[in-house]
Amino acid sequence: MPYVNIKITREGVTAERKARLIAGVTELLREVLDKNPATTVVVIDEVDTDNWGIGGETVTVRRARGF
């Protein structure tokens, strides 16, 4: 019954890798807390780099500086 929300920057992550994240976090909850995979919900949000800030600046600006 857990609900997991993963937020990452939108930078071309493939469907295959998103499926691995979903499988992995569902398995982690089964392993650590014995949660039933059938009712574990995972939602991935991909956020534009203009809309994600860290260190007081956007990821767009940081990427332009080579981070």
Q: Which residues bind a copy of itself (CB under 8 A)?
A: 1-9, 13, 15, 17-29, 31-33, 35, 37-47, 50-61
Cβ(54)–Cβ(15) below 8 Å = no
The CB-of-6 to a copy of itself minimum distance in angstroms stands at 5
In contact, 36 and 22? CB cutoff 8 Å: no
Catalytic residues: 2
Minimal distance, residue 9 CB to a copy of itself, in Å: 7
| Shortest distance (Å) from residue 52 CB to a copy of itself | 6
| Closer to a copy of itself by Cβ: residue 37 or 65 | 37
Three-class DSSP category at 55? coil
Report which of 62, 42, 59 is spatially closest to residue 51, judged by C-alpha positions.
Answer: 59
